[in-house]
Structure 1
């Protein structure tokens, strides 16, 4: 309806983004993000096992294969140390992920600096699933 553009502008302004797009669910948002990154058959998507099923299903919807990275027992979020170890093994086996979905669980942010640096090093894209963290901050920023 007519309030949707105002809502989108408000969310974008609140989080310091140029744009925001409202969809019917976080599942749809994750699926759209995977499509935008060109995730498809033969690709790998990795995420955390401690999440809602949509964080993994978004990859399956695109025909990708899904695998899981262990969590940090202190934060319950995706563990950068476990991710690095898994990436090293996957590189040897030529099965690196195209996408990693980092889930900010219960308002607690993932270590995005470490995950982002690994993305640059190993060539994967990062989708931040902030379904549980809208309005949360990482290093003082939304």
Structure 2
């Protein structure tokens, strides 16, 4: 929504009487819509910042790493890629390098999931703020 259209919608609410009042969050429809628009912009920026942080921290390769599963990583690193039980009593040894690399792989996936969870959490707030705006347009004061 461009700034002119936002202002026109805000101006249409000046002095407008609400049809229903379902809470005590805002003093009037204009304030409800104005604060919600400002908060909506902040939430959208926060989503962008979170995704930007993921990119800056992990780069393009992180998308590929997220798509891999930890299980398949384990199969690749410790079961020679075939995932068969084979001789279940066979002893296997792991080098510290293999364990270190595997731990790094897991850490990268957890870090990516944390960034995405944080970014996606903003979408719930965005949906709520958009709802506040729509309710204000319909004359319902929160």
The normalised TM-score by structure 1 is 0.27
More helix by share: 2
**Relative contact order (alpha carbons < 8 A, sep ≥ 6): 1 or 2 greater?**
2
Q: Whose radius of gyration is greater, 1 or 2?
A: 2
